[in-house]
Amino acid sequence: MASNSQQAATGSPPKPWEQSGTSTGPTPFKPPSPGSTSDVVEASGTAKPGEIVSTNDMNTVVNRNSLGRPVPTRPWEQQNYGSTYGGYGSGLNYNSGFGSGMYGSSYGGGLYGNSMYRGGYGGLYGNSGLYGGGMYNGGGMYNGGFGGPMGGYGMGGTGPYGEQDPNNPFGAPSSPPGFWISLLRVMQGVVNFFGRISILIDQNTQALHMFMSALLQLFDRTGLLYGELARFVLRLLGIKTKPRKVNQMGPDGLPLPGPENRRGNQNYIEGPKAAPSGAAWDNVWGGENNSS
Amino acid sequence: MPIFKTPFNGYSVKFSPFYESRLAVGTAQNFGILGNGRLHVLDLSPTSPAITELIAFDTADGVYDVAWSESHDSVLVAAIADGSVKLYDTSLPPQSNPLRSLQEHAREVHGLDYNPTRRDSFLSASWDDSVKLWTLDRPTSIRTFREHAYCVYSVAWNPKHADVFASASGDCSVRIWDVREPGSTMIIPGHQHEILACDWNKYDDCLIATASVDKSIKVWDVRNYRVPVTVLNGHGYAVRKIKFSPHRRNLIVSCSYDMTVCLWDFMIEDALVGRYDHHTEFAVGVDMSVLVEGLMASTGWDEHVYVWQQGMDPRAA
């Protein structure tokens, strides 16, 4: 193998098909270009900008798209701080929450806070972002009952734990809460707490009640189903409760076989008429019946 | 003939273009679905029917395909299931390998082919629907060919034209590309089902064979690709890999999920000239030696690598 290692400089040994030198006439391909592959590709101009780069392609995320070429930035990729600041309470604020403008919109409270729906100054202050309204008043369950009073107090401060949003462009930071304000806040916390407890208990009771009633209903229906099924199975087996009465009306107490069985009720009505056919049935059963 | 047992499920086998007794095998744990992979470089001993392992490289993900460098006798390229293409040098110890890890594909790399004429570049086909062109002197790909609508399973350079190659894809088409052109130069809607492999005839640069999930192999002439030159039926399940013989113009070898390796002469009436059923699981890798006429190798999910001379039983010791 040592003799072969000299080939490493020039490449692998010639292929058998290269030695044969056969020619198959015209081909649809352009004649090969001289030079190395990278030279050929670059000379042809097909190498895309951003693809012959020394940096790792993993980092150039922006240009990686299905088109294979850089495209202008999408509108939702632009972070427009101006509009999020100015767009307080406007629809613009809301829209920016979908794109990557999350950073900007959180300043205005569009993404986390409920200020947009409240409208007005107090709304924004009362529910400053995530900590204010979002945590307690956000859930649909508690919103109606407890979110309201809080707004009603018109507290100039922030939510229970919330700090004043430092980026809030509206006015100066509010003054530190006084004694009554803090007392009210404590009271609100207590009320909130018991409210949540009571709702939990209420919901649990309701759930249990519904569960039990559903269970009872299920048993009820199961009984009905069982009866229906039993009746069906019996019918499949050819055992009938009502027609049996008819058959018992037949001669000699024998069940009526054959097509007459289907006309059960008619037979019932015409029961007495069936009696004369009893003689014919005697023939069917042969002399046995006669002898008996 | 010699048999080698791999610890993982075999995926690909390739003969070295430099040494007649050397071959590389790519394997993947747990049928390539999940787990590690290993790249084996094997040596056939010239006297006794045995295969010895020269070196093995462990990878963190399955190895789906391997390709030997045509310019350096010890360098080989591996297609890894994590989307990377790794370069290995067998003359270096495992600690200094891989030489390079080219991480650009977003999904599994399923096929590789080293340019046999210009010998400085190779292609990788990936499940992220793209084909990438690489050279050894650059850390990133030179070009990305992104037209297929589904996974690209296989690529093959034209043996005569250094700039032309074909790619087989799961979107049921084969595309012919010229690296100097911005887009594909030809689209052959070859099969009704996914096309898993393609290869060029080594003696007629206009003939290309495709292997598909519809169990058939079709041979096409690129000058008139409306109808196939011939359709080879005989495999019981999807045909996984296909290879034209480097020595005989009309000979094709194929391996399939029906666990057989088949030899075809596509110019004669009864095209199926040989069938080897030595594998006990899916046969997914097959190759013919460029240096020794008639020497074949195959691997499969039964974790065996068989090397045998054409016409002999691969299982015969």
B159 closest CA partner among A84, A35, A16, A219: A16
The pLDDT score that the predictor gives to residue A259 is 42
Q: Measured on CA atoms in the order B184, B188, B192, B196, is the torsion positive or negative?
A: negative
Query: Mind telling me how many Å the CA of B113 is from chain A's nearest CA?
Result: 14
- Label residue B152 left, alpha or beta by phi (over 0 means left) and psi (-120 to 50 means alpha): beta
Q: Interior CA angle at B144 toward B138 and B147, to 5°?
A: 170
Cis peptide before B182 (omega within 30 of 0): no
Give the Cα separation of A213 and A200 in Å (integer).
20
Bridge partners (DSSP) of residue B176 are B166, B186
Query: What residues contact B224, with CB distance under 8 A and at least 6 apart?
Result: none
**Predicted ipTM of the assembly:** 0.70
Q: Lowest-pLDDT range, A154-163, A221-230, B144-153?
A: A154-163
pTM here is: 0.58
Query: Mind telling me how many Å the CA of B53 is from chain A's nearest CA?
Result: 16
The pLDDT score that the predictor gives to residue A157 is 40
**Residues B141-183: tens digit of each pLDDT:** 899 999 999 999 999 999 988 899 999 999 999 999 999 888 8
- Which letter does DSSP use for residue A12 in this model? S
Query: Mind telling me how many Å the CA of B237 is from chain A's nearest CA?
Result: 31
Give the Cα separation of B109 and B165 in Å (integer).
17
**Residues B264-288: tens digit of each pLDDT:** 999 988 889 989 999 998 999 999 9
Q: Dihedrals φ, ψ of B263, to 5°?
A: -110, 135
Q: Measured on CA atoms in the order B218, B222, B224, B225, is the torsion positive or negative?
A: positive
Contacts of B178 in chain A (CB under 8 A): 29-30
Contacts of B116 in chain A (CB under 8 A): 12, 15
More confident residue, A263 or A19: A19
Query: Mind telling me how many Å the CA of A59 is from chain B's nearest CA?
Result: 10
Select from B143, B158, B223 the Cβ nearest to the Cβ of A41.
Answer: B143
pLDDT band at B245 (very low <50, low <70, confident <90, very high): very high
- Between the alpha carbon of residue A199 and those of residues A202, B20, B45, B304, the distances in Å are 5, 81, 81, 67
Contact residues, A window 40-79, toward B, CB-based 8 Å cutoff: 40-44, 46-48, 51-58, 66, 68
Cβ of A8 within 8 Å of Cβ of B18? The answer is yes
The pLDDT score that the predictor gives to residue A121 is 37
Look up residue B42 and give its two tokens.
Answer: 């094997």
- Which letter does DSSP use for residue B247 in this model? S
Q: Measured on CA atoms in the order B103, B109, B114, B118, is the torsion positive or negative?
A: negative
| Closest residue of chain B to A40, computed from CA coordinates | B180
**Residues B183-235: tens digit of each pLDDT:** 899 999 989 999 999 999 999 889 999 999 999 999 999 988 889 999 999 99
Select from A22, A37, A53 the Cβ nearest to the Cβ of B179.
Answer: A37
Look up residue B281 and give its two tokens.
Answer: 């699981």
| Three-class DSSP category at A257 | coil
Give the Cα separation of B256 and B242 in Å (integer).
9
Contacts of A68 in chain B (CB under 8 A): 144, 146
- Which letter does DSSP use for residue B20 in this model? T
The bridge status of strand B75-80 relative to strand B295-300 is unpaired
Q: Measured on CA atoms in the order B209, B211, B217, B222, is the torsion positive or negative?
A: negative
Contacts of A7 in chain B (CB under 8 A): 18, 73
Share the mean pLDDT of chain A: 57
Give the Cα separation of B39 and B97 in Å (integer).
11
Q: Which residues of A4-17 are buried (b: 16+ CB within 10 A; e: fewer)?
A: eeebbeebbbebbb
The pLDDT score that the predictor gives to residue A23 is 56
Q: Lowest-pLDDT range, A57-71, A244-258, B102-116?
A: A57-71
Give the Cα separation of B132 and B122 in Å (integer).
8
Bridge partners (DSSP) of residue B4 are B305
- Looking at the predicted structure, is the pLDDT value of residue A162 above 90? no
Query: What residues contact A135, with CB distance under 8 A and at least 6 apart?
Result: A159, A160, A161
| Closest residue of chain B to A51, computed from CA coordinates | B142
The pLDDT score that the predictor gives to residue A76 is 41
- CB–CB contacts below 8 A, A to B: 147
Q: For residue A178, with 0-12 CB atoms within 10 Å meaning exposed, 13-18 middle and 19 or more buried, which class applies?
A: exposed
Contacts of B206 in chain A (CB under 8 A): 24, 27-28
Share the mean pLDDT of chain B: 90
- Looking at the predicted structure, is the pLDDT value of residue A85 above 90? no
Bridge partners (DSSP) of residue B42 are B23, B53
| Three-class DSSP category at B155 | strand
Select from A13, A20, A31 the Cβ nearest to the Cβ of B291.
Answer: A13
Contacts of B204 in chain A (CB under 8 A): 22, 24
The pLDDT score that the predictor gives to residue A182 is 86
Q: Dihedrals φ, ψ of B24, to 5°?
A: -115, 145
* Any B CB within 8 A of A140 CB: no
Query: Mind telling me how many Å the CA of A215 is from chain B's nearest CA?
Result: 46
More confident residue, A60 or B38: B38
pLDDT band at A170 (very low <50, low <70, confident <90, very high): low
More confident residue, A44 or A169: A44
| Three-class DSSP category at B305 | strand
Give the Cα separation of A152 and A256 in Å (integer).
85
Q: How many residues does chain B have?
A: 317
Q: For residue B221, with 0-12 CB atoms within 10 Å meaning exposed, 13-18 middle and 19 or more buried, which class applies?
A: middle
- Looking at the predicted structure, is the pLDDT value of residue B236 above 50? yes
Bridge partners (DSSP) of residue B51 are B44
- Which letter does DSSP use for residue A162 in this model? P
The pLDDT score that the predictor gives to residue A286 is 52
In what helix (H) or strand (E) does residue A231 lie, and over which residues does it extend?
A: helix A179-236
The pLDDT score that the predictor gives to residue B312 is 84
* Any B CB within 8 A of A37 CB: yes
